[in-house]
Amino acid sequence: MAGNLINGYGTIIAMNKRLIVGNWKMNPITLDEAKKIANKIKRIAPTLSSVETVIAPPFPFIIPCGGRNKVKHFSLGAQSASIEIDRGPYTGEVSATMLGEVGVEYVIVGHSEQRKRGETDETVSKKVKAVLEAGLSPIVCVGEVVRDEAGDYLNVLKNQIKNSLANVEAKSAGSIVLAYEPVWAIGAAEPMKNDDIYESSLFVKKVFSDMFGPEAGVKVKVLYGGSVNYRNAGDIVRVGKVDGLLVGRESVNAPGFVELLKAVDDVK
């Protein structure tokens, strides 16, 4: 597969590299623990030939987890950003521009937990636009709440993608990452079946292609998220044929996340 993903920092990620994103959510509770997890990941990341690793710590831990020096195959992410691009009277908000100033390259947008708390497709679309204008790469989360046998969930998923990317210009499509996270599979005992992951990721790419053209559809990275751990990650990537993973709980379990990265790196 030809082509590259270019984020706002000019970092070029070859299409044959998998993107593994650790979403730490509101974990861990201490800075000391956060730095220990980050340092273990930063030690393994440069040794991996087929994986690019991103960690998204809580806002207060982003700077200390990043450190002063750039680490090969390792980037910082954030778990959200304001719809406001720059600055202003927006108490409690953090802009994508500010995140870029402290070394963040990726921003998770539209995560199911945010959507559950009231974030709409319209809000997600505004956040995506703000992230792109700040020169960062949005990781746009989409996924159905239920998977009905009649297949109505496909229309739900299609509309969610279109609405969430409504403010995106074609020239910016190459900076977008899509994370398919079926809500019903998050926190479940087992992830979605690998064959179903493959079919759904193809559908997501097709919708993206219809919006931004065939070339963009081929190049866009589609990640899978939902009950991913070091035991199943390799098979999800190998059989599900996704371009990477959005990892929740396992991403703050440093030994498990390191094994997960190794398992994905071994997939040829």
Active site amino acids: 111, 181
Pairing of strands 18-23, 244-247: parallel
What is the total residue count of the chain? Answer: 268
Strand partners, 54: 21, 75
Q: Are 183 and 112 in contact (CB under 8 A)?
A: yes
How many CA atoms are closer than 13 Å to the CA of 89, on its beta-carbon side? Answer: 0
Q: Are 141 and 177 in contact (CB under 8 A)?
A: no
Burial of 87 (0-12, 13-18, 19+ CB in 10 A): exposed
Residues 6+ apart with CB under 8 A from 199: none
Collapsed DSSP state (helix, strand, coil) of residue 65 = helix
Find how far residue 188's CA is from the centre of its chain.
19
User: Residue 102: which of 126, 138, 136 has the closest Cα?
Assistant: 136
Residues 6+ apart with CB under 8 A from 171: none
DSSP 47: G
Single-letter residue type at 223: L
